Structure formats: structure tokens, C-alpha cells
Structure 1
Amino acid sequence: MVHTGRPSRGCVVCRKRKIKCDEKYPECSYCLRTKQKCPGYKDMFDLAWRDQTSLAQKNVQRGKRASSRQDSQEPREKGLSRTAPQLHDYLATLNPILDIIPSALKEDPEAYALGFFFSSYANPPVEADDRRGFLEHVGPQYVMAPPDSTLQMATMALSSFLFMAWLGRRPDSPVSRSFYLKAISSMKDRIQQPEGCADNDILTSVLILQMYEVCITRYETDQTCSNRLVPNTLAGIVQNNQLPNSHLRGALALVKHRGVEDFTDSISQSLLFQIRSQLIDDAFRRGQPLSEEVSTWAAHLEGATRERALPPSVRLDNINIDLANLEAVAQRRVVLLPIFKSPLDPHDILNKARDIERQLGEWCGTLPHSWLPLRMVGEDSIPPTIKSAGLYQNHCHIYPSISIASTWNKQRIALIKVQSLILEQLAQHSPSDENIFARTASENRVQQLADDICASVPFSLGDKTTPAAIGDRRIRYPHAPGKKVSSGHYQMAPALGGFWLLGPLQILTGMKIELRRGQRQWVGGQLMRIARIYNIRN
């Protein structure tokens, strides 16, 4: 093989050191200067006609290695090209949020966590009646809050916690804990000021810190979720009556100090209703009635907001207050000794339970038509991957949003609690045809409610069975024929859908009423699925 390039005629020493040789005869200047023997030069014809076999082999091997590296990188590049539009869409949702963030935060990694939080958890509701308590107000409040305020520190604590959790890392990191401690310190200083207790930002901060503490309970250990995590253990994580509520009690103290009559604007009323909703959930968990003061909050607000103008979730809580108090009385009556008189006898409890059942039925009639669930069947609406991931029976329901689906399940759980109370009281009556008919009707109603809760699972989880990124459009969700899944659903469903399913599914596994054969096991499997998706730990 002929070498077509200009060969190097330098001595061996200079060529090994890769320096220019002056090719002086008999020895080059470099060898003379370094006092070493110059090996001399090869004949120019030997250089021109030198054997290139070894060089060619090296070039071939080098080409093969380069080709293999290119082949291994090609799938990654193709995958990146497929996900580039998704990444672009996700960044497009973050840009409006990042534009309002102070420039100092943009230089910090925490800015990404903040954008993640506002785009996935605190974005505006889909409809005017689709309110999620207080999160939709955090954005406007955050922008107006001064730097290093309690609200900004609390928001950063929760944002960094959730962001780290979705990255698959330990969320209770020094970063989130540092923001949490700064928020606590700032809140103490703020509350000591006369106007601090009447500030909406402080009340919002307390609710954010309460949410932060509840999230920590899901990451109590370093052990990740395994298949050995039984549904009962997971259910205990959700319904544990020892969930932290110190910040919730602090929020209640702030409301008492401020006075309910001072909650007149839309933000303060949303905060008040959110505190009341959490107090109702806490009362259900602990089996204790709500205080008389909390029960009368709605009456204080009737002058500012007419009952029909209240959001459906707030009107549902108005009914759940009576249900929580009635359930607490019924549970107390069971544990009391016969010598102690209960304020209500079984007949009174039965009548009150049926009255609450009537109110819950009327609540459905007050909903906007757009709130009604749509029943989907067939592969045109339900992708086959959803069936393999978790589809009970052959249909599912879709809703305008995840929060509306959660409100419906909250109403169904309330009805299940009512039916349980009715069955408990009927069991204390003497058997009769009317009694047997009423028991059968209640059991059938519970079965239908359980089926409806199971039918909401695909809308919240799609075909996802393992952790996935928020906004991932490769996840398949049920949809109306000929219509696409909304972009907001790709954000909200992974962020909150599974967590809002935990409570209803847990109640289905723990209630004493019998369900259809195999349904309780299916629900337990979905609880395990949620644990894997959200890396809930035991």
C-alpha cells in the first residue's frame, strides 16, 4: 500500500516526542542538545513505501468503534427527538410562572422547584366552581409577598419537597428543611405583631406548612415501597388518626383570634373553608365531633355569600359537618356503658342519618351539568393499556377535572358512611319485612357507590403503573370519543390524582359491608399500584 501523505523524515527520538526534527546530518540538533545518540534517519523510499497493513487495521477498528458508539447513541437521540415536543410544552407552562419570579431566584435551582409547584399543584381551576381550597390563591399571594417573607419561605419548602420527591430522591432534604425552619422563624415574628394574625398570607403559610408536615409522613423511612407492602398498611398511612395537625390547630387559633366576621374577601373565605374542610377530615379520622364554633362558621358567612353561590365542595362540607358529628355520637354510644345515657337513641340516629342521605342526594341536583360524570366504554374511549393497568368491570367515568372527580368521591364516601350508620341502627331493631327490605336497599346502594369509586380510578391514574414524569403525554387516559385529553389533565392527574384516591379506596377496603366477590382484592391491588407510582413508603 502506497502512503500518499508526506512522510515524517525525522529521527525516531523526535518522532516519539512529537517534536519537529531539523534532520541535520549525521545527528539532529535536539539529540546533540540533550546529549543522547541520534538513531539517524530512514531511507526516504522506505518511508514512502512502508507497509500500511497495521495502520489500515487500526483505522478499521477505530471506525468500527465509532460506528458502535453512534449506534448506541442513536436510540437516545431518537428518544430525545420524540420527547422534545413534550419538553417544549412543559417549558411553555413554566415560562409564565418563571417570568414573575424575582431574578435572584432564577439563578438558583430552587426556581425550577417553584415553577414545578405552580404548574402542577397551584394552577388556576378549570371552572369557576372548581375550587381546590387555597392552592389556586398561592400564586398571586406569592408574587405580592415581600422577599424572605413567611409565605415565600413556606412555599419554597413545600415546592422543593415535592420536586425532590418526583425526582426520586429523599424529599426531606436540607434544602426543604432549611426553608421550613426559616418559615417557622418568620411566622413567629409575624404573629407577635398586632396585624400579623389578621394577615391572609400568614394563614396561607400555615396551611402550606400543614401540607408539608402531612407529606413528610409518607416518607418516614428510607425504605422504598415494595411488593410486600400490604394494602392495610398503606391504608393506615392515609387514615392514621395520628397525622400531624399542629399547624391545623394553629390555623384554628388564628381564625378565633381574627374573628370569622373578618373573613369577607374571596381569598380569606377560601382559606376559612379550607381550614374547615381539614377539620372535618380530622374529625372523621379521630371519631370526635367538631366544636360548636366551627359548626357555625357557615352561618356567619351567609350574609357575605349566599348558600347557592358557594362552591359545591363547600356545600358538601356543610353536610359533612352534621355527618361527622352524628358518626361521633353513634361511635360514642357503642362504647358507653348502659348506665350512661347517650344524647341520641338508635331511632334518632336512624332518622338523622336518613335526613343527611336526603341532603346528599339534593346536593347532586344543585351541581352544574358539566360536573356530571360521563360513562365511557369501548376501546375508542378506553385504551387497552388501561384495562391491563386497572379497569374494574368494563367501563369508567371521566370528569372535567381531577378535583371535581375527588369531590364526587368525597360525596360517595359520605353516602357510604350514612348507609353504614343506617345498617348499624337497623341491626338493633327487631327483624321485619320492612327492616330486611331497608337493609337490602342500603347494601345495594353501598355496592353501587363502591362501583362508582372504582370507575374513577382510570381517570386519575390512566395506564400508569410505575413512577413517571408530570406532564408525560405518553400516559394514556380515558377520554370521550373523538376528543383529546386536556393538557391540564396531564399535569394535575399525576400530581394529585393518586393521592386523592387513597382515602376513598382505603375506606372500601376497611368497611364492614360486604362487596362483590373479588372487588376488595381489586381495590387492594390499586392501593399497591398507587404506592409504587408515588413511592409511598412503609
Structure 2
Amino acid sequence: MVYCGKPSKGCGQCRSRKIRCDQARPACSQCVRAKRECPGYRDQLSLMFRDESKSVIRKAKAEGKETKRTSPPASSSVPLRSKQSPERIHRKASPEGNSAPTLAFEVGPDVPFDFANDPHFQYALSRISSLDSVPMEVQPAGMTQEDAICYFMQSNSFPGAFWMSDYMANFLKQSAGGPASVRALRASMGAVASAMLCRVRREVSLKEVARKSYGSALELLNSALANPEEAKSNQALGAVVLLAIYEIVVSRAPQDIALWTNHISGATALLELRGPDQLKNEAGLRLFLHLRYQIIISCMQRDARVPDYLLEGTMEILNLRPAEAHGNRLIMIIGRISNLRADIISGVLSDDQEIISQASAIEASLIAWLAALPPVFTYETHTRSRFDYGFENRCRGMTTLDDQYHVYPTLWSFNTWSQYRCARIIISEILLTHIRQMSDASSMRSLSEEFRQHCKTLRSNISRLALDICRSVPYALGAHRPEYDSTMPPPDSYIGGLVLLWPLYIAGTAENSYHPLRRWVVQCLRWVGYTYGLDQALALMDIVAADPGILHGGTDAEIEQSRITDEPVSGVSSSRAAVAIANSASAFNNMSPAARIESI
């Protein structure tokens, strides 16, 4: 198997006609204008490597026979690898038929398995440049687990990714042996990498490799957890993180999301076992930062309270990393939202007035957080040009909801904005739900006009936040960058799909089932699932499609208001509305039965 360089991304028609292809999807503009059927685009990863084993054997035998016939003197003998025929040097790509495509690229049978010419992998190589050069075992046919791990590392080749940290570079230098936690981490990485590449490349042989590696990782992890010292290691926690990602990759059915939740629960227990000392080293701190939001999402899904130690650790990080204070404060607020939801579901809080009061206080905290946001978080809203034919290609074929999209300074700021919008939608849902319950128990007419206006504002805010989430999707997919950007995951990275799952779920369940935004989110989740090989996106697609939506209730006027409003998300807190609700409800309850009927 040899590395063949970066192949042409154009469609078959444009390559055969030797013209520039804009790579639009589903058909390029050149084929559309010429009224030709566009044959589509080739799998770039499969074209980078070509199995030359049989060809090398055949040519070696042929050259051996030729050597016997000519019998040259020993002094003039030439090594076989230096003997090149025109057939080996020049190979033309064939756009037609089912034969395996080859490239017009000068190669020989001794070309090493090398990613150095791949611009997306150069950063990954630079992060582990301290590693000794160890030859990789290359098997003659199919993709191997080593190939899959290289793909996984390539997908994480951007600054800040834990898997590209110095810790992982040192880990990769270790031998194949070691403690059970180290072997569990290797097996977990092999499992998730093989499962991911199996889906992206449709490489069926890797499916069984992934399954066996997953089983081996579980056995090794259980063995490591039996040792109190190994259970506290970064390797053990890293293995659990990878197993959780594995479930995101392979969990297609909605009920299978519980498997991801189980691994996150295991990681939660390990974080508690590790205690505050885990924040004293860089690898432990990165793992904590990576897991805490995942744990909060899991708590929201299970209607459970966030563990106290998680919020306490976040408070400690506020002092350790003051530059990241805004992100940590937001996590604290989101933790309060999860705890409020858990108290409501468990019955600890049952009074609507008290629930609305607490939710209003959290909403006010979110508004204050937004008001204090530093300029480094400022994003730009771009309008897509109808002449930008390469836009969908940069989005890997995904279309946008409308002609606007957001561009953020960094991936971190994008994540922070997504977390804020999801939190604001959830707290608005809590407010609307219990406002409706109070209105059902009394009467909307008995409540103040200020309260009714605030209901409309909440609905408008939910719609606007959901729209902003959808407009952020192109950024995660790399639509804003015509050139490779080392500060972002590579275009083919699964990270782009992974960071979209929760925001798309929240945005999709905001609107009614007939709303265009809902239909677009369902389409987007389907696309993420098949393009990035993340089966959990397909499970979320089914859940979103069946959800009635936060805005399924209310009057027609309120629904229309939430659709047509073009005002920015309101910063008005619900605290005054909560007081109005309480006063109106109290007045209604003190009325006589006849007065109540008359007010209705």
C-alpha cells in the first residue's frame, strides 16, 4: 500500500475534460450548465493509498525471467526497485467503469507509508515530532487499525485537542506493554478509530476489528479499575472518554444513547475518585474540562442533579485560569439549570410560582453573563453570495437554512456561544411550561398585560436562539475558510459533527414539527450521521422528528410573533414577570366563584 499524494477532487466529467470543477453538490455547475449527468466525486481517502502488492510481485517475476534471459554480468546488475517501466510511472485515472481508480503519479513499490504530504496531517505530525521514527507495519490489502488510528489523530490535529497534547505524544512513544490502564487506552483508541473509519470509508473489515477492540478495552479497563492507583490514572479516564465517543459512533437506535450515558456516568465516578488533585496537572485538567459539559448534558438527559464536586472543581478552575473565567461562569449557570430541572422532575419543587422565580433568577444570570462578554467572543454574521459555488463544497455538501451564517474567532468561542444558546432555550422552556400551567389553573385574562408580553418575548427568543444555532453550523463544518486553518479541526474531522449534536438537538426540538427549521435540523442530523460516521446523530434525528416542540402550544398570534420577529434576543429578565404572575394568580385565587367565572 503506497501513499499517492493528494488526488483531484473534481467530478469525473470535469477531470476527463480537463476543466476546473467547482465541486458543488449534488452536481457541479459545469455539468448542470452543459446538461450532462454529473458522475459525482471520488472518496479522497481511498485514493490516497493504493495496493501495489500484486503488481509488484507480478513485475518482479517478469523482471526475474528477463534477467535470466539476458544474463547480464554481475558488475552491471541493477536492483529491481531502480528498474522503472513506463507502465509503472504513468497511470491515468479512469472516471468510468467499476475498476479501482489510479492516479497519474510517479510512484514505485518502495514508496513508504507516509502522511507527510497531506496538509491536514502535517500539524499532527509536528505535535509528535519528538517520537522516534518507527516503521509502521503495512498490510497489503484493506485498511488496518493503524490506518484508522492515523485517521483519528488527523481528525484531532488542531491546538487544544487533548489527543494532540504532549501527554498523548509521550503516551504514543511507550511500548505495546504497560499497565492495564495504558493498554485499555490503546484498545479504546483502536476501537473508536476503527469504528469511525469503518463508517466513513465503508470498510466492512474494520467493523469486526472495532468490536473486538471495544471488548478488549472493556476487559482491560475493568482490570485497571480493580487497582485503586490505576483507577485514578489519566489513562483510565482517557479510555472511558474514548469508549463514550465509541458509543456516539455506533449507537444508531434512540434507546442506545443510554450506552453513552453509562460511560459518562463511569467517567463521573472516576472524576470524583480522583479528587481535586486531578486539576494540578495539565492532562488531568484537560480531561476534566472535556468531560464536565458532557456530564451536565447527561444529567439533563437523566433529569439528575450535577455532582457537587464538578461545580466545586469549576470554581477552583476560575482561580487557576482567570483568562477562561467567562466559560467557567457559564458552566456554573448551566449546572444550576440542570439542578432546577432535576428538582422539578423529582418533586422537590412543585410550586409554579417558586419554579418561575428560580428560573427567572437563572435567566437574569445568563443575561448578565451575556452583557459582560468580552470582545474576543464577538462573531460576525455573513451573507452567503449566490456566486459562491464552492460554499457547499466547503460544507461537504450540506446546504444552509437561509443565506446567513456566523463566523467565530475560535472554535472555543463557537462552543461557548452554543452552550449559552442551549442554556437560554432550556430555561425559557421551563418558564413557558410553568407559565402555561398557571394560566391553565387560572386564566390568561386574569394575568397582567406585562406577563402576556413576556410570554411572547420568550417565544421570540427561543425561535431566534434556535435560528442562531442553525446559522452557526457552517462554521463548524469549515465553510468560512477557503484555505486550511491549523487552529481548526481538519475539514474531514469528526469534531465538526460531534460539537453540533447537542445544539442541533436543542434547536430542532424548539420549533413545531411543521416548521422549516425543524425539517432542516432533521436533514442536518441525517447528513452528520452519514458524512462523519456518527450513528448517534441518526438516533437524535429520530428523536427530534418525533418531538412535539417547545413552541407547539400557545396562541396563533404568539406563534406568528415568534416567526416574523426580527428583534435581537431580548435581555429583559423574567423577574418582574414572575412577580406579575404571582400577584395575578393570588388575586384570582382570592376571587369568589362568581367573580372567577365572570373574569373568564
Q: Give TM class, smaller chain.
A: 0.5 to 0.7
Contact 1:118–1:139 (8 Å) recurs in 2: no
Matched, 1:499 2:482: no
1:97·1:115 contact (CA, 8 Å) conserved in 2?
A: no
d(CA) in 1 for partners of 2:351, 2:342: 13
What is residue 171 of structure 2 aligned with on the other side?
142
Query: Structure 1 residue 397 and structure 2 residue 397: aligned?
Result: no
Query: What is residue 525 of structure 2 aligned with on the other side?
Result: 527
TM-score normalised per structure 2:
0.60
The secondary structure found in structure 1 opposite 2:293 is helix
Is the contact between residue 141 and residue 201 of structure 1 (CA under 8 Å) also seen in structure 2?
no
CA distance in 1, matches of 2:376, 2:317: 27
Structure 2 SS opposite 1:288: coil
Match of 1:478 in 2: 480
For residue 440 of structure 1, report the CA deviation from its aligned partner: 0.9
Letter of the 2:168 partner, please give it: G
What is the alpha-carbon distance in structure 1 between the residues aligned to residue 122 and residue 223 of structure 2? 38
Give the C-alpha shift of residue 424 in structure 1: 1.8
Structure 1 residue 484: Cα displacement? 4.6
Task: Give the conservation status (yes or no) of the 8 Å contact 1:376–1:382.
Answer: no
Residue number among 423, 436, 440 corresponding to 1:414 in the alignment: 423
Structure 1: runs of 5 or more not aligned:
1-65, 126-131, 221-235, 334-341, 463-476
Per the alignment, in what secondary structure is the counterpart of residue 106 of structure 1? Answer: coil
1:26-56 Cα distance to aligned partner (Å, 9 max, x none): xxxxxxxxxxxxxxxxxxxxxxxxxxxxxxx
Q: 1:305 aligned to 2:297?
A: no
Equivalent position SS for 1:259? helix
- Following TM superposition, by how much is the alpha carbon of 1:207 offset from its aligned partner in structure 2, in angstroms? 1.6
User: How far 1:382 sits from its partner (Å)?
Assistant: 5.2
The residue number in structure 2 matching 1:330 is 344
| Among candidates 187, 208, 220, match of residue 174 of structure 1 | 208
Residue 168 of structure 1 and its aligned partner are, at CA, apart by: 1.8
Structure 2 counterpart of 1:265, one-letter code: N
Is residue 2:330 matched to residue 1:316? yes
Contact 2:489 2:496 in 1 (8 A): no
Structure 2 residue 275 is the aligned partner of structure 1 residue 275: no
Q: Kindly state the Cα deviation for residue 357 of structure 1 after the two structures are TM-superposed.
A: 1.9
SS in 2 for 1:349: helix
- Distance in 2, Cα, partners of 1:373 & 1:121: 24
Counterpart-to-counterpart distance in 1, 2:164 and 2:324: 17
Is contact 1:260-1:297 (8 Å) kept?
yes
Report if aligned partners of 1:97, 1:118 keep a CA contact under 8 Å in 2: no
Residue 460 of structure 1, CA deviation: 2.9
Secondary structure, in 3 states, of the residue corresponding to 2:405? strand
Q: Select between 492-501 and 419-428 the one with higher mean Cα deviation.
A: 492-501
Aligned to 1:156: 190
Q: Provide the residue aligned with 1:203 in structure 2.
A: 237
1:355 and 2:361 aligned: yes
Instruction: Name the CA distance, whole Å, in 2 between partners of 1:516 and 1:174.
Output: 41
C-alpha distance in structure 1 between counterparts of 2:276 and 2:154, whole Å:
32
SS of 2:280's partner is coil
The answer (yes or no) to whether the contact 1:426–1:435 under 8 Å persists in 2 is no
Partner SS state of residue 396, structure 1: strand
User: In 2, are the aligned partners of 1:416 and 1:446 still within 8 Å (CA)?
Assistant: yes
Out of 103, 107, 130, which is 2:137 matched to? 107
CA deviation profile, 1:144-178 (whole Å, cap 9, x unmatched): 65533333333233223323332222486333334
Q: Using structure 1 for the length normalisation, give the TM-score.
A: 0.66
Task: Please tell me whether the aligned partners of residues 412 and 453 of structure 1 are also in contact (alpha carbons under 8 angstroms).
Answer: yes
Please tell me whether residue 343 in structure 1 is matched to residue 346 in structure 2: no
Could you say which residue in structure 2 is the equivalent of 1:116? 151
Q: Using the alignment, how far apart are the partners of 2:166 and 2:298 within structure 1? A: 23
Q: Which residue in 1 is equivalent to 2:247?
A: 213
- Distance in 1, matches of 2:157 and 2:490, equals 11
Alpha-carbon shift at residue 243 of structure 1 (Å): 3.6
Instruction: Return the alpha-carbon distance in structure 2 between the equivalents of residues 332 and 249 of structure 1.
Output: 19
Checking the alignment, whether the CA contact within 8 Å between 2:278 and 2:285 is kept in structure 1 is no
Change (3 A) 1:100 1:383: same
Question: In the alignment, is the contact (CA less than 8 A) between 1:261 and 1:300 conserved in 2?
Answer: no
RMSD: 3.9
Matched, 1:425 2:454: no
User: Relative to 1, partners in 2 of residues 1:278 and 1:208: Cα closer, same or farther, differing over 3 Å?
Assistant: same
Alignment correspondent of 1:89: 119
Which amino acid counterpart does residue 89 of structure 1 have in structure 2? P
**Contact 2:191/2:246 (<8 A) preserved:** yes
Q: CA deviation at 1:390?
A: 1.8
Shift of residue 410, structure 1, vs aligned partner? 2.1
CA contact (8 A) 1:346 1:425 kept: yes
User: Equivalents in 2 of 1:74, 1:434: separation in Å?
Assistant: 66
Equivalences for 1:179-190 in 2 at 5 Å?
Answer: 179-190=213-224
Aligned residue for 2:499, secondary structure, equals helix
CA distance in 2, matches of 1:206, 1:486: 30
Q: 1:261 to 1:327 in 2, by over 3 A?
A: same
State how far apart, in whole Å, the 2-side matches of 1:135 and 1:426 are. 48
CA offset digits 1:123-164 (Å, max 9, x no partner): 323xxxxxx677756623523655333333332332233233
> CA 1:133 to 1:343, structure 2 compared with 1: closer, same or farther past 3 Å?
farther
Other-structure match for 1:441:
457
The residue identity in structure 1 corresponding to 2:287 is: L
- The answer to whether the 8 Å contact 2:123/2:157 transfers is no
SS in 2 for 1:390: coil
Work out whether residues 411 and 488 of structure 2, in 8 Å CA contact, stay in contact via their aligned partners in 1: yes
CA offset digits 1:518-538 (Å, max 9, x no partner): 332232332333334235467
Task: Find the aligned partners of 2:336 and 2:387 in 1 and give their Cα distance.
Answer: 39
Contact 2:131 2:169 in 1 (8 A): no
2:581 aligned residue: none
Q: What is the rounded CA distance, in whole Å, between the counterparts of 2:504 and 2:153 in structure 1?
A: 28
SS of equivalent to 1:409: helix
Give CA deviations for 1:253-274 in whole Å, capped at 9, x if unaligned. Answer: 3333332345322322222233
Q: Which amino acid aligns with 2:356?
A: L
Across the two proteins, how many residue pairs are aligned to each other? Answer: 417
Deviation at 1:326, TM superposition (A): 0.8
Shift of 1:288: 2.0
Q: Could you tell me how far 1:91 is from its partner in structure 2?
A: 5.2
Distance 2:521 2:116 in 1: 32
Contact 1:287–1:327 at 8 Å: present in 2 too?
yes
**Over alpha carbons, which structure has the higher Rg?**
1
Distance 1:105 1:425, change over 3 A: farther
